[in-house]
Structure 1
Amino acid sequence: MLKHLLAILLLLAFPSAVHSPAAADDRTAGQVIQEEIWALPFPLPVLAFLVRPVGDGPFPLVVMNHGISLEANQRTMFPAIEYRDAARWFARRGYVVISPIRYGASSLDDKDQGLYGAVFAHVGSCDNPNFRGPGLAIATLNEWVIDYMSKKKMIQPGKVIVVGQSGGGWGSIALGSLNPSSVQAIITFAAGRGGRVDGKPNNNCAPDKLVAATSEFGRTARVPMLWIYAENDSYFGPELTMRMHQAFVEAGGNADYRMLPSFGTDGHFMIDFAGAVPIWSPLVSQFLEKHSATAPPLGQPVNGPSAQREPPSKPPRLRLPENIHFSTWKKLCFASSDRTNICRSTSTATDDLDQIVARVDLIERADGPARLQLFVPQGANLQQGVKVTVDQGSPVQVPFTWCLTNICIAARGIEPTVAAQMEAGQQLKLELTDLYSSSVTIKLPLSQFGAVHQDPPAETFDFSLTEE
C-alpha cells in the first residue's frame, strides 16, 4: 500500500503539462492539462484518475472504464492508471477525463483499507457464466460517476462520452443498454468478457453465451457506439467479435464496428500504448464529430486568466462553508461476487451547492472487524489525523490513509463498543487541525443512527453471482 501512496503523491506533485510523444497531432492540440487522483464518495467509494484541461471550464466529460484482472497476483502488477496516453489525448481536446479504479480489478484493491472490498467483476463458472450482471455493475458505477461529476462547475451537463477497454468496454456496452440521457456516445476497445480461459489465446469461456448477452444489451441500447478491435486480439478475435456485433445490431443496437490491423504482440492492449494513438484517433475524431460529441474549439483561453492560474505555494487552510446540511443516516449493503457481504451505515454533510463537505461510514464486513471511515476537507494536518468523539466520551484518533486532490480519507478498525456508543449517542464530533494550528469541528447528529444501524438496509446492491 505504501508504494501505491508514493506513486500517487509523485503524480500529484507534477500535475500538469508534461507532453508525451503519443502522436504528431498531440503536439498541435495546445490545451494545457493536469493530472489528479480523486476519491469519489459513492455508496461504495472508489478512487479515480482524472486528467483535465487547465481552467474553470465548463468542459464535456469522458468516463473511461479500465480492464479487469480477477487473479490476485496479476492485480498486484496492474498499474493504477491504464491507457494514460489515451486519456491525455481526450483531455488535450478539451474533455475532463475520469477513470474510476474498480474493486477486484487493479493493484489498489485492498479490503483492509475500508475504501474497497466489494468485488463485482466475476462471471462465475464457464458452464453457466453471468456476463450480463458484471457488465451492469460497471454501468451502475458509471451512472454514479456521471451524476457526481455533473454537479461540478467545470462539467458541461448532458455532454458525456464513455470509453472502455476489455471488460471495461463490456461494461460500457451495458451502460448503453440503459440509455442514460446525458451520454452522447460510447467508444470501446477490445470489448468483451470471458477471454483466454487457462491463458490460451482465442479460448473464450462461453462464446455463444457472450454473443447472446451482447444481443440482450442490443435489444434496448440506442446510444451511438464505436467498437474498435485489432486483428491479433488474443482475447476477442475477429470471428467472435463480428458475431457479437451482428447480434447487437440485429437486436436493435447502434454500433459502428472497426477492425484495425494487428498491433504489437497482442492487439487486445492497443489502447495502453502511446504508439497506437495515431492509429485509432482519426476514427474516434470522425465518430465524435458525426454525433456532435466534440469538445469546444481549442486554442482559446478558458474563462480568461483562470486558465493560467498558478497553484498555491503555501499549504491550504482548513475552511468549512458557512452552511452545512446533514443527511439522514442510511444503511446500504452490498453482496459482492466474491461472496463477501458488506454494510455501510453512512451520513453525509454537504454545502449549499450539494458538494460533499464530510462523510462518515461505519463499515461492517461479514469476514472481518468493523471500520470507521471519514471523508474530510483538504488542508488538515495529516500527522494528527481526525479526533472522533461521541457526546462527552473518550475520543478516538483516526489516522489518515489517503489525501487526494479533492478530499482526504481517514480510517481505522474499531471495537464493537464504538458502534454501541454511536447507537446510544446524540452527536458525533469530528475535530481537525491544519498546518497553521487552527482547528475546525464538524458535528453530525446521531439521533437516528441506532435505529438505522439495527434495522434492515434501506437498499442492497447485489453484485453477487445469480442465476438469470
Structure 2
Amino acid sequence: MKFEKFFIPSDELGVRLEIVAARPEGDGPFPTVVFNHGSTGRGQNRALYSRTMAPAVIADYFIARGWMALFPQRRGRGKSGGAYGEGLAQDGSGYSCDAEIALAGFERAVDDVDAVVRHLRGRSDVNQNRMIIGGVSRGGILSIAYAGMRPGMFCGCINFNGGWLGRGCLSHELVNPLLFERGAPSGISTLWLHGSYDQYYRIAHCRGNFDRFLSAGGQGKFVAAPMGHALMFKPALWKEHVDRYLLALG
C-alpha cells in the first residue's frame, strides 16, 4: 500500500489543506471513506500540530475491502496551511473549556470538511453513491455531526471514541451531547465504537451522547469494547462490527 499526499484549497483565501490518500489497485470509481483525525491531547504541545495523521490501521482495513481512504488534515494540522484554531485558549494553555470557544473551533473544523467534500465531488475515482465519513476522538464527533448538518452527502458514518471536550472540562457534559445531536438529521445508520476504559470520555457519558442522538431521531449502533482511547489501533476489537456495517450499507 502506498500513500499519496496532495493539497486542496480551503475556505480560507490562500490556505491549502493536506490530504493523504490510500487507493486500491485499479482506476475505480471506488467506495470512499473520509477519515478525520482527532485533537493533540491537551493542545499544549505545538510540535504535535505539524504531525500528519493517516493511521495505517484504518487505511489497511479499507484498502483490503476495495475502499479508498482519504485522511484530510484540518487547518494548522499536519502540513496544512493556516493557524490551528479548534478551541485553543488565548493564553496558550491548551484547549479551552469555555463552551463558546469550543463550539467556534468545531465550526472551523466543519468548514474544512466542506472543502474536502467539494474536492471529492470532482473526483472520477470516487463512487459518489458510496461515500462514508468517519473519524477518531474529535474526528469522530465531527463526522457524526457533519453527516447530520449535510444530509444526503454520505451514506454512512463511523465514530471511534468520539467527543469534542474531554472530562477534564466540566463543559464536556454540555458540548458533546449538543454536537452529537446535530448528527440526528442525517437519515443514515451510524456506527459508534467506544472504549469502555477511555481516559477522556467515561463510557456512561458516551452512552448518554448516543441516547441523546437517538432521542433526536438519529439511527445507529453503539459498541463498547474492552479498550481505552486507543481502540482504533486494535482492529481485532472492531473489524467484525465494521464488516457487518459496511455489508449492511450495500
TM range (shorter): 0.7 to 0.9
- Alignment of 1:160 with 2:120, yes or no, is no
**Kept in 2: contact 1:136–1:174 (CA 8 A):** no
Say if 2:5 is the partner of 1:37. yes
Q: Give the match for residue 288 of structure 1.
A: 246
Could you tell me how far apart the structure 2 residues matched to 1:218 and 1:182 are?
12
Amino acid at match of 2:198: D
CA deviations on 1:221-251 (whole Å, 9 max, x unpaired) are 3232111101111011211111111111111
Q: Whose RCO is larger (CA < 8 A, sep 6+)?
A: 2
Could you tell me how far apart the structure 2 residues matched to 1:68 and 1:291 are? 29
**3-state SS, counterpart of residue 268 of structure 1:** coil
1:92 maps to: 64
Contact 2:164–2:176 under 8 Å retained in 1? no
1:68-217 correspondence runs (5 A): 68-69=39-40, 71=43, 73-76=45-48, 79-106=51-78, 108=79, 116-122=81-87, 125-195=96-166, 202-214=167-179, 216-217=181-182
Q: 1:58 to 1:248 in 2, by over 3 A?
A: same
CA-CA distance at 1:38 after TM superposition: 1.2
Letter in 1 for 2:244: Q
Take 1:139 and 1:254, find their aligned partners in 2: how far apart are those partners? 21
Give 1:55 deviation, angstroms: 1.6
Match of 2:230 in 1: 269
Name the CA distance, whole Å, in 1 between partners of 2:9 and 2:52.
18
Distance 1:59 1:131, change over 3 A: same
Q: What one-letter code is carried by the residue in structure 2 that aligns with 1:287?
A: Y
> 2:28 aligned with 1:57, yes or no?
yes
Tell me, in whole angstroms, the C-alpha distance in 1 between the residues paired with 2:49 and 2:119. 30
User: Aligned-pair RMSD on alpha carbons?
Assistant: 2.3
Amino-acid identity (%): 25
Number of equivalent positions: 240
Moved more, 133-142 or 53-62: 133-142
Q: Which one-letter code corresponds to 1:103 in the other structure?
A: R
- The Cα shift of 1:82 comes to 3.8
User: How big is each residue's C-alpha offset from its partner over 1:23-44, in whole Å with a ceiling of 9 and x where there is no partner?
Assistant: xxxxxxxxxx432111113334
Listed as ranges, the gaps of 5+ residues in structure 2 are: 90-95
The answer as to 2:236 corresponding to 1:278 is yes
Partners of 1:94 and 1:240 lie apart in 2 by: 35
Q: Flag the structure with larger Rg.
A: 1
Measure how far apart 1:75 and its partner are.
3.7
Q: Kindly provide the amino acid, as one letter, of the partner of residue 91 in structure 1.
A: I
1:361-381 residue CA offsets vs partner (Å, 9 max, x unmatched): xxxxxxxxxxxxxxxxxxxxx
Partners in 1 of 2:49 and 2:112 — Cα distance? 23
Distance 1:93 1:103, change over 3 A: same
How big is the shift at 1:129?
Answer: 4.0
Structure 1 segment 212-223 matched on structure 2, within 5 A:
212-214=177-179, 216-223=181-188
Larger mean Cα displacement after TM superposition, 57-66 or 129-138: 129-138
| Structure with greater proportional strand content | 1
What secondary structure is seen at the aligned counterpart in 1 of 2:151?
Answer: coil
The answer to whether the Cα contact below 8 Å between 2:134 and 2:159 also exists between their aligned partners in 1 is yes
Tell me which amino acid in the other structure corresponds to 1:89.
Y
Asked if the contact 1:227/1:258 (under 8 Å) is kept, the reply is yes
What SS does the aligned partner of 1:85 have?
Answer: helix
Q: 1:230 pairs with 195, 202, 216, which one?
A: 195
Residue 63 of structure 1, CA deviation: 0.3
Give the secondary-structure state (helix, strand or coil) at the position aligned to 1:43: coil
SS in 2 for 1:53: coil
Aligned-partner SS, 1:160: strand
Q: TM-score, normalised by structure 2?
A: 0.85
Equivalence map 1:344-423=2 (5 Å): none
* 1:177 aligned counterpart, secondary structure: helix
